[in-house]
């Protein structure tokens, strides 16, 4: 009788630490708990699992009874725990020292909790760069999983990808398992009997070494329709029961297979990720051209043979596509460098541990990219990154002070930025002619009020404009990749890309026709004395209007003063996009003269206003904007449109304020003050 074919079955579980509590609990109730309960009832079904460190901590704290099941399965040899970076970073996107720190932290955690140090590594989003090999090897990892697509790009055939291969970098070895795309698209979306029939077919091939599967556990209950399909209609029990009843398939852990089999040979993989990611990371025009090319290849039946030669972009393209992602990334790497350079005795052991925890939390991948699952468009995920960065920066400043005023090209875009800060607030100003604030941090609230996102041109906009809601259907259920739906009504105006970044105190002149015309001609005032004070002056000449703009930080306030010499201008306009954590939820309100005018999700218009307060209960504080002269004030929510596994949705990014007033001939002036206050009785809850 032929030897049964090993099935290497692995699942990966992760949730962002800053996700909404109800989302975490729903994920546990609909996926993690029932999955573990089902697998626990089949002790002969061996498999491998990876939980990100932050999610593992959450589940041990909130649901120890389910973690007890996992501990028991590990103890009886049913489960192999995989490691990774503790906070689920894309390893290729963080410094080498932090790769080692993150990998080691989760490995220590797994050994302490389960008595088993991991040999296998899960690579976040299966993003592969050869540069990650030394850190993985130095941290004790012997093998990792990547997509079979990575191997096909080297010229390997699908028939060869039934075992592990070996690669090396800088003298370190790492073995690599190719995850089957065919299995990823069948499990759990095809009927259980169809998935089993496919495995039986593989097992019937001569000398087939193994079937290799490793994918997101969230497909087993969290993706649309999957909870009823996997648990309500017993897909998972049918599948596992079928595998165990088969005489030609035997479930194994990766560790078992790796210990008993030899490598299939040396391989060097290109920098890549899974095929969908390679499309998402391209700019919209290129992404649509790539999608059209793939569609044509599929229509003529050539895709499976040619897909290795259809290459999209790489994960790091997200940092060049989205300035907001690049800015966060450079903030993170800069603070990592500051932490690495901190003198040994500058901080105590406990504080140093907290600093590293904050840095690692800021390296979590979720908020740095955008696709069907990436969270760049999600304000609460970006806020999680900034909260960690702002807290870390405050601790670093306490350990070793930095200048109150610093100029450099921080995000490497060819234009300098000016950092101004005191112990309460920090304002970062772009020196690109706008003299606008791109980041405004309140250390007590750990909030970046400049954390918003402009409307970008996206590859899926053409689906919205077509109104295409048809999903590819088969005998099973549709994968989220094939599903197109609408959570909200979307108009063409909702997806019109912005012409400029969304910032605070962006200025325009209002012409005689009433049109606001933005300008980018501010220059840093050469006469401004070099000092350590957190302030800056800018000058601009726009037609017959001369403007002096001064930005000053004092305590918890940012004041912007304007002095005008005008010959002929109808008016002046200042726009602020202020990131408020409650967005259009119930926790945020406009307050004017002691009265609540409405929520942030509403539009408010005031004539001859001198002040307005934005109060946010989730943040546990408020922002008061005051003007030295009466202004016309318009406040409304600013939305972007994104695509998730649940469909297209409108997401509020910021409160969009527009202040305007008429100008007079000759000299005039105006001062705007932004005061940030933490609530006295802080009962805030994180959204």
Has 216 been annotated as catalytic? yes
DSSP string spanning 273-339? --HHHHHHTS-HHHHHHHHHHHHHHHHTT-HHHHGGG-----TTHHHHH-HHHHHHHHHHHHHHHHH
Residues 459/291, Cβ–Cβ less than 8 Å: yes
Exposed/middle/buried for 219, CB within 10 Å: 0-12, 13-18, 19+? buried
Residue 350 CB contacts under 8 Å (≥ 6 apart), including other chains: none
pLDDT of residue 469: 53
Can you tell me which residue has the tokens 């302030």? 535
Distances (CA, A) of 256 to 49, 69, 70: 14, 21, 18
Q: Show the 3-state SS of 516-573.
A: EEECCCCEECCCCCCCCCCEEEEEEEECCEEEEEEEEEECCEEEEEEEEEECCCCEEE
Per-residue burial over 182-211, b = 16 or more CB atoms within 10 Å of its CB, e = otherwise: ebbbbbbbbbbeebbebbbebbeeeebbbb
Can you tell me which residue has the tokens 């206003």? 609
Long-range pairs for 413-420: beta carbons < 8 A, 24 or more residues apart:
413/323, 413/326, 418/524, 418/536, 420/534, 420/535, 420/536, 420/551, 420/553
The 10s digit of each residue's pLDDT in 107-140 is 999 999 999 999 999 999 999 999 999 999 999 9
Q: H or E stretch including 184?
A: helix 181-186
The 10s digit of each residue's pLDDT in 282-330 is 999 999 999 999 999 999 999 988 888 888 999 999 999 999 999 999 9
The tokens describing 560, both together, are 């912007």
DSSP letter, residue 27: H
Q: What is the model's pTM?
A: 0.94
Residues 517/508, Cβ–Cβ less than 8 Å: yes
Residues 604/614, Cβ–Cβ less than 8 Å: no
Can you tell me which residue has the tokens 């690669």? 167
Has 125 been annotated as catalytic? yes
Domains of the chain plus CATH, in order, are: 5-271 (3.20.110.20), 461-678 (2.70.98.10)
Mean pLDDT by 10 residues, the chain (687 residues): 88 92 95 98 98 96 97 98 98 98 98 96 97 98 97 94 97 97 95 96 84 97 94 97 96 97 97 91 93 92 89 94 97 97 84 96 96 87 97 96 92 93 96 96 97 94 72 59 67 88 95 89 75 88 93 97 87 97 93 95 96 96 97 96 84 96 92 94 48
Residues 122, 483: Cα–Cα separation, whole Å: 27
DSSP string spanning 449-465? TT--------TTHHHHH
User: Residue 225: phi, psi to the nearest 5?
Assistant: 75, -10
Peptide bond preceding 148 in cis form (omega within 30 of 0): no
Distances (CA, A) of 75 to 12, 81, 141, 258: 19, 11, 20, 19
R_g of the chain, CA atoms, integer Å: 27
Q: Show the 3-state SS of 560-629.
A: EEEEEEECCCCEEEEEEEECCCCCCCCCEEEEECCEEEEECCCCEEEEEEEEEEEEECCCCEEEEEEEEE
Residues 79, 70: Cα–Cα separation, whole Å: 8
Closest CA to 142 of 271, 256, 47, 269: 256
Residues 290, 430: Cα–Cα separation, whole Å: 34
Residues 72, 53: Cα–Cα separation, whole Å: 19
Can you tell me which residue has the tokens 């049964």? 4
Residues 506/575, Cβ–Cβ less than 8 Å: yes
Residues 601, 250: Cα–Cα separation, whole Å: 55
DSSP string spanning 377-392? T-HHHHHHHHHHHHHH
Residues 498, 489: Cα–Cα separation, whole Å: 20
Residues 444, 390: Cα–Cα separation, whole Å: 9
Residues 629, 669: Cα–Cα separation, whole Å: 9
Active-site residue, from 17, 80, 125, 129: 125
Q: H or E stretch including 165?
A: strand 165-169
Residues 14/45, Cβ–Cβ less than 8 Å: no
Active-site residue, from 138, 200, 216, 584: 216
The tokens describing 199, both together, are 């495995």
pLDDT of residue 685: 44
3-class DSSP assignment, residue 51:
strand
How far apart are the two ends of the chain, measured CA to CA in Å? 59
The tokens describing 55, both together, are 């999610």
Residues 553/533, Cβ–Cβ less than 8 Å: no
């Amino acid at each position: 009788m032929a030897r049964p074919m090993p099935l290497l079955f692995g699942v990966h579980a992760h949730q962002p630490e800053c996700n909404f509590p109800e989302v975490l609990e729903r994920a546990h109730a609909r996926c993690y708990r029932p999955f573990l309960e089902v697998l626990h009832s089949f002790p002969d079904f061996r498999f491998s699992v990876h939980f990100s460190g932050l999610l593992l901590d959450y589940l041990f704290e909130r649901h120890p009874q389910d973690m007890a099941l996992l501990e028991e399965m590990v103890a009886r040899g049913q489960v192999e725990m995989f490691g990774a970076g503790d906070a689920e970073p894309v390893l290729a996107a963080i410094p080498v020292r932090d790769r080692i720190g993150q990998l080691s932290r989760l490995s220590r955690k797994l050994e302490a909790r389960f008595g088993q140090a991991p040999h296998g590594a899960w690579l976040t989003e299966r993003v592969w760069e050869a540069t990650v090999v030394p850190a993985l090897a130095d941290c004790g990892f012997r093998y990792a999983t990547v997509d079979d697509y990575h191997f096909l790009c080297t010229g390997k055939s699908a028939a060869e990808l039934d075992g592990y291969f070996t690669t090396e970098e800088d003298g370190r070895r790492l073995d690599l398992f190719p995850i089957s795309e065919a299995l990823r698209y069948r499990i759990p979306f095809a009927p259980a009997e169809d998935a089993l029939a496919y495995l039986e077919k593989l097992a019937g091939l001569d000398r087939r070494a193994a079937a290799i599967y490793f994918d997101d556990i969230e497909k087993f209950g969290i993706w649309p329709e999957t909870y009823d399909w996997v648990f309500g209609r017993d897909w998972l029990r049918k599948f596992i029961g079928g595998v165990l009843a088969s005489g030609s398939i035997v479930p194994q852990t990766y560790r078992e297979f790796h210990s008993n089999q030899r490598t299939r040979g040396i391989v060097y993989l290109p920098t890549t990720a899974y095929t969908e990611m390679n499309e998402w990371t391209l700019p919209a025009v290129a992404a649509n051209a790539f999608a059209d090319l793939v569609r044509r290849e599929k229509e003529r039946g050539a895709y499976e043979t040619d897909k290795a030669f259809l290459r999209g972009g790489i994960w790091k393209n997200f940092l060049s596509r989205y300035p907001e992602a690049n800015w966060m990334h450079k903030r993170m790497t800069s603070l990592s460098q500051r932490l690495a350079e901190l003198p040994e005795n500058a901080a105590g052991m406990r504080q140093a541990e907290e600093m590293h925890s904050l840095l690692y939390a800021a390296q979590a991948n979720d908020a740095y990219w955008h696709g069907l699952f990436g969270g760049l468009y999600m304000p609460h995920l970006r806020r999680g990154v900034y909260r960690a960065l702002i807290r870390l920066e405050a601790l670093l400043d306490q350990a070793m002070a930095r200048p109150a005023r610093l100029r450099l090209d921080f995000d490497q875009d060819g234009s300098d930025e000016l950092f101004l800060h005191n112990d309460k607030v920090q304002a970062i100003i772009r020196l690109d002619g706008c003299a606008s604030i791109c980041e405004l941090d309140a250390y007590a609230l750990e909030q970046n009020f400049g954390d918003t996102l402009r409307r970008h041109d996206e590859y899926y906009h053409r689906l919205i404009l077509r109104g295409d809601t048809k999903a590819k259907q088969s005998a099973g259920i549709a994968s989220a990749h094939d599903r197109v739906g609408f959570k909200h009504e979307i108009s063409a105006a909702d997806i019109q890309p912005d012409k400029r970044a969304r910032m605070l105190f962006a200025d325009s002149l209002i012409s005689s026709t009433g049109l606001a015309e933005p300008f980018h001609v501010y220059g840093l005032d050469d006469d401004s004395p070099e000092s350590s004070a957190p302030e800056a002056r800018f000058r601009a000449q726009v037609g017959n209007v001369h403007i002096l703009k001064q930005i000053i930080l004092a305590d918890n306030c940012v004041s912007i003063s304007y002095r005008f010499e005008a010959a002929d201008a109808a008016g002046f306009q200042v726009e602020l996009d202020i990131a408020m954590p409650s967005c259009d939820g119930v926790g945020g309100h406009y307050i004017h003269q002691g009265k609540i005018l409405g929520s942030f999700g509403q539009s408010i218009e005031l004539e001859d206003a001198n002040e307005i307060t934005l109060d946010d209960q989730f943040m546990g504080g408020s922002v008061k904007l005051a003007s030295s002269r009466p202004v016309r004030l318009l406040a409304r929510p600013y939305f972007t449109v994104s695509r998730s596994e649940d469909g297209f949705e409108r997401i509020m990014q910021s409160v969009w304020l527009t202040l305007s007033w008429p100008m007079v001939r000759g000299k005039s002036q105006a001062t705007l003050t932004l005061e940030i206050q933490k609530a006295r009785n802080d009962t805030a809850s994180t959204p």
